[in-house]
Amino acid sequence: MSLLDVEGSYSLLDKWIGLVIKNEVRELDFDVPPGKDVKMYTLPQIVFFAKSLTILKLGGCKLEDPSETISFHSLESLTLRDVHINEDMLHKLTIGCPLLEDLFLFNCWGFRRIDVYKPCKLKIIKIEEDSHETVQSVKIVLPSLQGFRLMSGRPKSCTIDLIGCPNLNDLTLISVNLTDQELYCLISNFPLLENLCLSYCDLLNRVSISSYQLKFLRVQGCRNLRSIDVDSPNLLLFNYVNDSIPTISMNALCPWKVTLEMINPDADTHWFLKLKEFLGFANQIKDLELYVDWEERFSLLMSLLDVEGSYSLLDKWIGLVIKNEVRELDFDVPPGKDVKMYTLPQIVFFAKSLTILKLGGCKLEDPSDTISFHSLESLTLRDVHINEDMLHKLTIGCPLLEDLFLFNCWGFRRIDVYNPCKLKIIKIEEDSHETVQSVKIVLPSLQGFRLKSRRPKSCTIDLIGCPNLNDLTLIFVNLTDQELYCLISNFPLLENLCLGFCDLLNRVSISSYQLKFLRVQACRNLRSIDVDSPNLLLFNYFNDSIPTISMNALCPWKVTLERINPDADTLWFLKLKEFLGFTNQIKDLELYVDWDEVPCRFMVFNAHFRPWILKLFNRVGTTFYHSYVFIESKNMIEWARIIRLLCANGFVSFAINLHSVLDGIIEHNTSLNSTTIFAHPDFTFVRFHILPQRLTYKELAFLPDKTMLRTLVADQDLEINGGVNNYTIRIGNR
């Protein structure tokens, strides 16, 4: 916009829009980004007579009242965002669009009233405000209107008259300060109302709603609300989201979804007793969420519960869940300081209806009877204490179980899973507890297995009875080369293999005909990789060392070298060059450079390499910055690209001087197709020419004469004189 804000620029936009209208475009989305101290663009009036437009979206402009009557013959949807429009113009727009069905006003200004009448056939009106003037009055007389939404960025008083909209079935009011009586009278005008949402309406205190057709009711963030009385026998769902506990009276048997958020950190026993009373009264609650916003709030909750009979209360709640034949149960008891671990009641282990069970922070004890989860398909245990016998009984007692996830559980050292279990996926992840020492699984049904520990360890893994395994992930598992080779040979259908942080691996040999995806990450002692997998589609290597790789597949490689040694010498770069030159399959190369001062080392690789994207990552402090260089497969050195990259990253004068040096190299060495240039990062000369700011090549070209630029050397500036192709550099005191 700063470039456009010159004489004749807006007329150019007018011509573009005129061309669009002339070509009878049906959909137009035109947005002028806001500019600082830039005059607002006024939309040309030719737009208001476009016969072809059916959808029009305008943003960041001004709409002025035309001298003639607006005539949008075909317009069906109109969206205005950050648009200045007055009341008369808004009224003319609605009248001049006989087919208009949707009107959306987002953060518009210039009006205080919205009046919409016949013959408009609008079905949906949405008004959302942010920082501009607020609407003070809304009056709509439209029998066709079905949905109305009014949302403000801050609570406000607004007169809303929708009495002329008898067919309204969807009403949303957000940050609109209606009183209890005003809301009751408003709703009574809509006999067909099915959806009602009230959010952040802070004047509401004792809400009374009577609507026979109402099916969905949501009340959110009305912080002064004390009671809700609902007479809606056909209600299907009641959703309550707030930080207070109201009194609720309702004649509908619909399920409730209750969310209590931002619970007061000073909540005392009285608050929790009130919560208990609320939950005990409302047996229709099917989904309860408590959002707590302080570190020790859960500890406070548990300490209040940790009195005589408190755990029996939790038992009763769980019993109620099982009794109501809930299909999905997610039960997590947060850890509390000096709080006894909650033991899950054994009634859960015989729940016939459960299909998905997620348990956290509790203890599972071995029941006297046989476990019988007839319908359970997915079981997730997180921070759960469970012994080996109980774990074995769980897998046997779930005939339909397909997914088993164990995250940071403890109490066992062995995992043994056998038939008749039909498990398809097993994931085991550990953190700080006892580590698994042995895994033995005999399951022809198993397709995916993942074992991850927080620290490297030795573990016996026996998956010989899983011939259909196609996905295997091992992280922080110390297998030897031979153990890995033997393990993989058991899986003729293996397609995905991931090895991460397996530090005992040294010379890996993989032979798998069906293997399609192979990822090797951070196995720091790895020296060589030999892969016999002709159907491999992608090889992903992520490490800080450069291995020898032998592969009979023609798949692309994605190579990431991280934490490159800051003392890397010429030998290291030659080894990297040899590694890169050995294969033409690298499609994506990333180098993570882990030293603070950017070294001026630039490698231009041999011309016979195929193209790839080279991503150079440099750490400054704790942040990584990256640049992209596209290495082209031409028999030439792309010095211009490198020079532009240097300029864009702050190497201004150094890049310019390098340009002349490189030109001389090419001129006197015509047969040269590869070179390496080293410049030590501690050289003061280099520091003189590194700028602590980003300058693009274009920005550098437009710098005025005698521009002073700061460098990395204290009290030393860089003065630029001359044009783009003829620079004079002078270093002077600041």
Domain count, the chain: 2
**Sequence letter at residue 730:** R
User: How far is it, in rounded angstroms, from Cα 361 to Cα 724?
Assistant: 66
Contact 49, 71 (CB under 8 A): yes
pLDDT at res. 309: 47
pLDDT at res. 432: 67
Contact 60, 35 (CB under 8 A): no
Among 147, 162, 177, the domain-final residue is 177
Residue 652 resides in a domain: yes
The radius of gyration of the chain from alpha carbons, rounded to an integer in Å, stands at 35
Asked if residue 420 has a cis previous peptide bond (ω within 30° of 0), the answer is yes
Nearest in space to 317 (alpha carbons), one of 308, 329, 307, 334: 329
Burial (Cβ within 10 Å: 0-12, 13-18, ≥19) of residue 29: exposed
Residue 555 resides in a domain: no
pLDDT at res. 666: 55
pLDDT at res. 247: 86
Residue 34 resides in a domain: yes
Which positions of the chain have pLDDT values less than 70? 1-9, 34-37, 131-133, 153-156, 261-273, 276-277, 279-283, 286-310, 313, 334-339, 432-434, 455-457, 562-574, 577, 580-584, 591-702, 712-715, 720-734
Residues spanned by the domain of 699: 593-603+633-733
Nearest in space to 24 (alpha carbons), one of 57, 59, 60, 49: 49
Backbone angles phi, psi at 289, to 5 degrees: -125, 130
Nearest in space to 520 (alpha carbons), one of 497, 486, 551, 487: 497
Alpha helices by DSSP H, listed for 309-365, are 310-323
Contact 53, 26 (CB under 8 A): yes
Among 177, 207, 225, the domain-final residue is 177
Bridge-based pairing of strands 102-106 and 124-128 is: parallel
Residue 669 resides in a domain: yes
Residue 701 resides in a domain: yes
State the DSSP H helix or E strand holding residue 95, giving kind and residue range, or none if neither: helix 87-95
pLDDT at res. 458: 75
What tokens were used for 248?
A: 């609720």
Query: For 246-279, b where at least 16 C-beta lie within 10 A, e where not — what string?
Result: bebebebebebbbebeebeeebeeeeeeebeebb
Residue 293 resides in a domain: no
Residue 342 resides in a domain: no
Among 177, 199, 227, the domain-final residue is 177
Residue 516 resides in a domain: no
Q: What's the whole-model pTM score?
A: 0.52
Question: For residue 101, how many C-alpha atoms fall within 13 Å in the half-sphere facing its CB?
Answer: 5
